[in-house]
Amino acid sequence: MSMTVSLVFLAVLMAVFGGWLFSYSFRVRPWEAQAAGSRQVQGLGGGQVPPAATAPRVGLAVFLAVVTSLFALTISAYLMRQEMAHDWHPLAVPGVLWWNTVCLVLGSVALQLAWRAARHEQPTWLLRGLLAGGGLTIAFILGQALAWRQLQAAGHYLAANPANAFFFLLTALHAAHLLGGLFVWSRCLFRLQQGATPGAMRQSVELCALYWHFLLLVWAILFVLLLRT
Amino acid sequence: MADHGQHSVPHAPAGEFDDMELVHPKTFLGKYVWSQDAKVIAIQYGVTAIAIGLVALVLSILMRLQLGFPNTFALIDPASYLQYVTMHGMIMVVYLLTALFLGAFGNYLIPLMCGARDMAFPYLNMLSYWFYLAAVLILMASFFVPGGATGAGWTLYPPQAISPGTPGIDGGILLMFASLSVFIAGFTMGGLNYVVTVLQARTRGMTLMRLPLTIWGIFMATVMALLAFPALLVAILMMLCDMLLGTSFFMPEMLNLGEQSGHEGGSPLLYQHLFWFFGHPEVYIVALPAFGIVSDILATHARKNIFGYRMMVWAIIIIGVLSFVVWAHHMFVSGMNPYFGFLFATTTLIIAVPTAIKVYNWVLTLWRGNIRMTVPMLFAIGFIFTFVNGGLSGLFLGNVTVDVPLADTYFVVGHFHMVMAVAPVLVVFGAIYHWYPKITGRMMDDTLGKVHFWVTFLGTYAIFYPMHFMGFAGVPRRYYGYGETAYIPDSIQTLNAFMSVAAIIVALVQLVFFYNLVRSYFHGRQAGPNPWQATTLEWQTEHTPPRHGNFGAELPVVYRWAYDYSVPGAKQDFLPQNMPPEAVEADDAAPRRSP
Q: How far off is chain B from A104, nearest CA to CA, in Å?
A: 24
Q: Report CB contact under 8 Å: B209, A28.
A: yes
Q: How far off is chain B from A210, nearest CA to CA, in Å?
A: 17
CA distance A109 to A55: 25
Q: Which residues contact B284 (CB under 8 A, 6 or more apart)?
A: B221, B224, B319, B320, B323
- Which DSSP category does B97 fall into? I
A contacts of B210 (beta carbons < 8 Å): 30, 40, 46
3-class DSSP state of B204: coil
Whether the Cβ atoms of residue A131 and residue A57 lie closer than 8 Å to each other: no
Which of B227, B233, B578 should we substitute to test contact with A (largest number of A Cβ atoms within 10 Å)?
B227
Q: Where does residue B303 rank: exposed (0-12), middle (13-18), buried (19+ CB within 10 A)?
A: middle
Q: How far off is chain A from B23, nearest CA to CA, in Å?
A: 18
- Chain B residue closest to A50 (CA)? B200
Position B12 scores a pLDDT of: 38
B contacts of A18 (beta carbons < 8 Å): 317, 321
CA distance B192 to B124: 9
- Chain B residue closest to A157 (CA)? B247
CA distance A198 to A120: 8
Q: Report CB contact under 8 Å: B209, A69.
A: no
CA distance B369 to B365: 7
Q: Report CB contact under 8 Å: B204, A41.
A: yes
Position A37 scores a pLDDT of: 66
Whether the Cβ atoms of residue A129 and residue A111 lie closer than 8 Å to each other: yes
Q: Report CB contact under 8 Å: B267, A80.
A: yes
Q: Which residues contact A183 (CB under 8 A, 6 or more apart)?
A: none
Q: Which residues contact B591 (CB under 8 A, 6 or more apart)?
A: B569
Q: How far off is chain A from B384, nearest CA to CA, in Å?
A: 25
A contacts of B203 (beta carbons < 8 Å): 43
* Rg for chain A, CA atoms, rounded: 22
Q: Where does residue A224 rank: exposed (0-12), middle (13-18), buried (19+ CB within 10 A)?
A: exposed
Q: Which of B196, B314, B581 sits opposite A58 (nearest CB)?
A: B196
- CA-nearest of B350, B346, B421 to B390 is B421
CA distance A14 to B11: 37
B contacts of A35 (beta carbons < 8 Å): 559, 580-582
CA distance B326 to B341: 10
Instruction: Report which residue type is found at B116.
Output: A
Q: How confident is the model over A126-180, as pLDDT tens digits? A: 999 999 999 999 999 999 999 999 999 988 888 888 889 999 999 999 999 999 9
Q: Which of B207, B227, B267 sits opposite A84 (nearest CB)?
A: B267
CA distance A189 to A201: 10
Q: Report CB contact under 8 Å: B207, A45.
A: yes
Whether the Cβ atoms of residue B277 and residue A3 lie closer than 8 Å to each other: yes
- CA-nearest of B208, B205, B215 to B106 is B215
- Chain B residue closest to A63 (CA)? B192
Q: Report CB contact under 8 Å: B227, A59.
A: no
CA distance B55 to B143: 11
CA distance B463 to B451: 18
Position B505 scores a pLDDT of: 97
pLDDT at A24 over 80: no
**Can the peptide bond before residue B164 be classed as cis, meaning omega within 30 degrees of 0?**
no
Q: Which of A62, A73, A86 sits opposite B192 (nearest CB)?
A: A62
Biggest CA–CA distance in chain B, Å, is 89
The one-digit pLDDT tens for each residue of chain B (595 residues) are 334 434 434 343 333 344 566 777 778 777 788 889 999 999 999 999 999 999 999 999 999 999 999 989 988 999 999 999 999 999 999 999 999 999 999 999 999 999 999 999 999 999 999 999 999 999 999 999 999 999 999 999 999 999 988 999 989 999 999 999 999 999 999 999 999 999 988 998 888 889 999 999 999 999 999 999 999 999 999 999 999 999 999 999 888 888 888 888 889 999 999 999 999 999 999 999 999 999 999 999 999 999 999 999 999 999 999 999 999 999 999 888 888 889 999 999 999 999 999 999 999 999 999 999 999 999 999 999 999 999 999 999 999 999 999 999 999 999 999 999 999 999 999 999 999 999 999 999 999 999 999 999 999 999 999 999 999 999 999 999 887 778 888 899 999 999 999 999 999 999 999 999 999 999 999 999 999 999 999 999 999 899 988 998 889 999 999 999 999 888 889 999 999 988 888 877 655 454 4
- Which DSSP category does B166 fall into? S
Packing angle, helices B446-472 and B490-523, rounded to 10: 160
Which of A5, A8, A20, A69 should we substitute to test contact with B (largest number of B Cβ atoms within 10 Å)?
A69
Q: Which of B121, B226, B581 sits opposite A65 (nearest CB)?
A: B226
Query: Which residues in chain B (147-206) have CB-CB distances under 8 A to chain A?
Result: 188, 191-192, 195-196, 199-201, 203-205
Whether the Cβ atoms of residue B151 and residue B83 lie closer than 8 Å to each other: yes
Q: Which of B246, B305, B559 sits opposite A159 (nearest CB)?
A: B246
Q: Report CB contact under 8 Å: A59, B233.
A: no
Q: Report CB contact under 8 Å: B210, A59.
A: no
Q: Which of B16, B265, B314 sits opposite A43 (nearest CB)?
A: B16
CA distance B251 to B266: 4
Q: How far off is chain B from A188, nearest CA to CA, in Å?
A: 18
CA distance B349 to B329: 10
CA distance B568 to B581: 14
Q: How confident is the model over A31-44, as pLDDT tens digits? A: 888 776 676 666 55
Q: How far off is chain B from A213, nearest CA to CA, in Å?
A: 20
CA distance B433 to B440: 11
Q: Report CB contact under 8 Å: A70, B277.
A: no
Query: Which residues in chain B (242-301) have CB-CB distances under 8 A to chain A?
Result: 245-249, 262, 264-267, 269-270, 273-274, 277
B219 interface with A at CB cutoff 8 Å: no
Q: Report CB contact under 8 Å: B560, A33.
A: yes
Paired with B586 in beta bridges are B570
3-class DSSP state of B578: coil
- Which DSSP category does B101 fall into? I
Record the pTM: 0.93
Q: Which of A36, A49, A169 sits opposite B200 (nearest CB)?
A: A49
Position B594 scores a pLDDT of: 47
Position B207 scores a pLDDT of: 87
- Chain A residue closest to B575 (CA)? A33
- CA-nearest of B266, B381, B400 to B343 is B400
B contacts of A84 (beta carbons < 8 Å): 267, 269-270
Q: Report CB contact under 8 Å: A49, B199.
A: yes
Q: Where does residue A92 rank: exposed (0-12), middle (13-18), buried (19+ CB within 10 A)?
A: exposed
A contacts of B245 (beta carbons < 8 Å): 158-159, 165
Q: Report CB contact under 8 Å: A69, B231.
A: yes
Q: How far off is chain A from B582, nearest CA to CA, in Å?
A: 8
Of A48 and B326, the one with more pLDDT: B326
Position A75 scores a pLDDT of: 94
Chains A and B: how many Cβ contacts under 8 Å? Answer: 179
- Helix residue ranges, H only, B12-37: 28
- Which DSSP category does B525 fall into? P
Q: Report CB contact under 8 Å: B277, A6.
A: yes
- Chain A residue closest to B13 (CA)? A36
- Chain A residue closest to B196 (CA)? A59
Biggest CA–CA distance in chain A, Å, is 74
- CA-nearest of B381, B506, B542, B514 to B444 is B514
Q: Report CB contact under 8 Å: B561, A31.
A: yes
Position A36 scores a pLDDT of: 66
Q: Which residues contact B6 (CB under 8 A, 6 or more apart)?
A: B528, B529, B530
Query: HEC profile for chain A?
Result: CCCHHHHHHHHHHHHHHHHHHHHHHCCCCCCCCCCCCCCCCCCCCCCCCCCCCCHHHHHHHHHHHHHHHHHHHHHHHHHHHHHHCCCCCCCCCCCHHHHHHHHHHHHHHHHHHHHHHHHCCCHHHHHHHHHHHHHHHHHHHHHHHHHHHHHHHCCCCCCCCHHHHHHHHHHHHHHHHHHHHHHHHHHHHHHHHCCCCHHHHHHHHHHHHHHHHHHHHHHHHHHHHHHHC
Q: Report CB contact under 8 Å: B210, A81.
A: no
The interface predicted TM-score (ipTM) is: 0.92
- Chain B residue closest to A58 (CA)? B196
